[in-house]
Structure 1
């Protein structure tokens, strides 16, 4: 069976640490698959918040997630910490892919890669909206150094 491949971006623009809580653990005693997507959501929220945005207001438009893919590489257990790094890929008129690399906080070993498709959305009109030019200039034309939170 072919595995999904998620290439890493040329540069990461944000990083954060997230603790694994007991509610993130499944019956197998390790990180639950749905918990990893929730942790990625938290990392994304932290990225936006660091830049004065929310998921409902990024330069005047909200965002929505159009798809998600996850490649699991190692187990993670309660009490451990994950180091998330985020970067952009495949920008288009309406959005981009946000790539997440999750590594073990102590060992640095990669435990998962995620991709979420993000598009800008006008919640008043209930329609997809073009990516704001300020956002493009700020993040996609000049991927600057890592911002940590």
Structure 2
């Protein structure tokens, strides 16, 4: 039996950024489309790695691939809005890393919580590496 659990995080955030909601990101209900939430989380990942002079496709010779994601929608985000997204390190496993995300509206209300489990894959061998090999990135 499968069940969705509430997303809980008690750790520290290691990165944050702000994004302006674009008109093109709205759905027919005139609020941020659900699929755009995941796009924004990917944008904040790229922003974080760029701040470390890396990219999602070149992190010490690896690319970062999403294995699983879960988004808990809390409140609507309307246009125009400036969202604040924070990333925390939830867990490092043998072959994956789990990031926690919190997206807030400009009034401070949490609009969504999310987790993404991701794997670092070597670009030259296409093999998954132990995330501890690159975990220094999250601590610097």
Q: What TM-score results when the alignment is normalised by the length of structure 2?
A: 0.90
Cα 1:17/1:39, change in 2 over 3 Å: same
**How many residue pairs were aligned?**
138
Q: What is the correspondence of 1:44-83 to structure 2 with a 5 Å cutoff?
A: 44-83=45-84
Off by >3 Å, runs of 4+ in structure 1: none
**Equivalent position SS for 1:59:** coil
Q: What TM-score results when the alignment is normalised by the length of structure 1?
A: 0.85
Ranges in structure 2 where 5+ consecutive residues have no aligned partner: none
Cα 1:93/1:73, change in 2 over 3 Å: same
Query: In the alignment, is residue 109 of structure 1 matched against residue 109 of structure 2?
Result: yes
CA RMSD in angstroms comes to 1.6
Check whether the contact 2:92–2:132 (CA below 8 A) recurs between aligned residues. no
Q: Which has the higher contact order (CA 8 A, sep 6+)?
A: 1
Ranges in structure 1 where 5+ consecutive residues have no aligned partner: 145-149
